[in-house]
Amino acid sequence: MTIEKLALKKATDIQNPSSSVSLLMIEDSPQDQKIIENVILNGPMDISITTVTTGEEGLQLVGKYHFDIILLNYSLPRMDGLKFLSFMKKMGYNIPTIMITEHGNERIAVQAMKIGVYDYINKCGEYLPKLNLVIQRALEQHEISIQQEELKERTSYINKRLQQEKQKFENIVSAIGAGLVIIDKNFRIIWANRTMEEWFRSTFDQNLEGMPCHVLFQQGEKICEKCALKKIFKTGVIQGKNFQTGVIQRLKHSMTNRDGERRHYQFTSTPLVDIHGKINQVLCLIQDISHQIDMQLKLIQSEKLAAIGELASGLAHQLNNPLVGILNYAQLLQRKIKPDEPNRELLDTVERGARQCKDIVGNLLNFSRPHHFNYEVLDLRNILDNTLILIENRLKIKNIIIIIDIVNSLPLIEGNSTQLQQVFLNILMNSLQAMPEGGEIKISANSVYRHKQGYCMVKLSDSGAGIPESIKDKIFDPFFTTKDQDQGTGLGLSIAYGIIKAHNGKIEVKSVKGKGTTFILTFPIARQNDNY
């Protein structure tokens, strides 16, 4: 086939995709050309043959037209078959090639196979009868090779997408801010998300995966006595309803996290079914609701303080008038009775008792009724220094060391200096009474920023007896005290709590029995020139 006829045929092939197989024969022997063409054209396949005599001509045609297969003579002028194959591979063409030679040897055959020929035929043998079969097999193998490569690329693409989706899923699961675990029928954790690992990994010496769920949730060696999962696996029922209705189970539980802190969690469990509709796993969503529980407790505390405040206000007003009368008459009698008279000591006792009762009533009124104090820009360092001056002698008597750790540029706050001094005084007096044998009080202050808001934080820590966990939630209750009857009324911390709230501040307490107590007070930084 001439070059002109080949170009015409290629144009026809574009219009007729189901045309015959296109074969390029590179053979410099006219006699062999005719023999090979005759065998192929009389064979079972529909093949169109284009013939050239040199490798250079073959490369030109390969670069211009499409060929399904090449018959290549090894012994060509100027460019042998191996060089032709090398150049064609460098040009980026992957065309199945059959090499034919009459001077071939094993070395040439090995080189040809390495370069990529599909078959190697020696003209010296009876090659013509099997030539069509070799061509058909080469075409089939090439098609299989193409399909395998496409399958490999498709598989690689699918695996890449799966990895991307897996990473996306893991990012989403980790970003929800809650723990997720999957538990099998043997009550073992078979999967845990990153949040669960961060919460509890360092609490145990082993990975969460493979750990019995009761070890994680109850830190016990046996299955929990009232295990909800046991019932789910056994009956497929959650709280009396079938799991197919979509009903899930929610439980609240407290656990110790990696920092040794006791936190509150809500467990939401839902069963996972296999292809047969049977429950074989349970998915548990674990949410940290400690902040929510704290808010609920603080709300209860606020409501409790409000109710007691109303009661205290009414009681204080009822007691105030008679107490004023008693105190006034006692003081009047003191003027008339000489100090050395026998009844004077009894009268002094009455007067002291009346004053003490009046102070208690005054504290009740301060606790119960709202005050409208003048607020000004203050430096907490000055207020703390003035407070320490008031108790300086008591500190020396009780052999208590004060450690000050306050930053130089402490931000200013808005507040009432008298009220804030009362807060610090009440807390420090509690610390003094908690260290009857002496000890150490550390006062630190610095600035912190939360949610784009600046705060001034003050920490008052003592080395006293600490507060038992059982009463920590009650220390801000009015009249709650663990002191002797003549050492306090239980209003100091309640009043401090109310003053701090009036300053839009916050008070927290951290304590370990036998290791001391720390009160943490935070106040908003004062606005100055509309900037914090």
* pLDDT surpasses 90 at 459: yes
Q: Regarding predicted confidence, which is higher, 87 or 529?
A: 87
Over residues 395-412, mean pLDDT: 89
**CA 327, 328, 329 angle in degrees (round to 5)?**
95
How many other C-beta atoms lie within 10 A of the C-beta of residue 352? 11
| The two three-digit tokens of residue 167, written as one number | 């990473």
Q: What is d(CA 268, CA 286) in angstroms, rounded to the nearest whole number?
A: 7
For strands 262-273 and 376-378, give the pairing: unpaired
Q: Report the DSSP beta bridge partners of residue 23.
A: 49, 69
DSSP E strands: which ranges in 27-91?
47-52, 69-73
What's the token pair of residue 403?
A: 């450690």
The whole-number pLDDT of residue 210 equals 80
Please report which helix (H) or strand (E) contains residue 120, including its range: strand 119-122
Residue 8 pLDDT > 60, yes or no? Answer: no
% of the chain at pLDDT higher than 70: 80
Reported pTM: 0.42
Average pLDDT over residues 499-510: 90
Tokens 């009844």 sit on residue: 343
Residue 200, pLDDT > 50, answer yes
Helix axes 380-390 and 417-434, enclosed angle (nearest 10): 50
pLDDT of the residue at 204: 58
- DSSP-based three-state secondary structure for 259: coil
* Residue-by-residue DSSP string for 415-440: E-HHHHHHHHHHHHHHHHHH-TT-EE
Mean pLDDT calculated for residue range 97-107: 80
3-state secondary structure of 217: helix
> With 80 as the cut, is the pLDDT of residue 320 above it?
no
pLDDT tens, residue by residue, 225-281 = 667 777 777 765 544 444 444 445 566 667 666 556 677 888 888 888 878 778 888
What mean pLDDT comes out for the span 128-148? 89
Residue type, 323: L
First to last CA, the chain: 90
pLDDT of residue 462: 93
Would you state the pLDDT for residue 282?
Answer: 86
Tokens found for residue 493: 């911390």
Greatest C-alpha distance within the chain = 157
Contact 193, 170 (CB under 8 A): yes
Domains defined along the chain, listed by start: 3-149 (3.40.50.2300), 176-288 (3.30.450.20), 294-368 (1.10.287), 376-524 (3.30.565.10)
Average per-residue pLDDT for the chain:
80
Q: Which of 312, 233, 240 is nearest to 273 (CA)?
A: 233
Q: What is the pLDDT of residues 112-122, one digit of tens each?
A: 888 888 888 88
- 337-389 pLDDT, tens digit per residue, is 888 887 888 888 888 878 777 766 776 666 555 555 678 999 999 999 988 88
Q: Residue 257: its pLDDT value, please?
A: 61
pLDDT exceeds cutoff 90 at 471: no
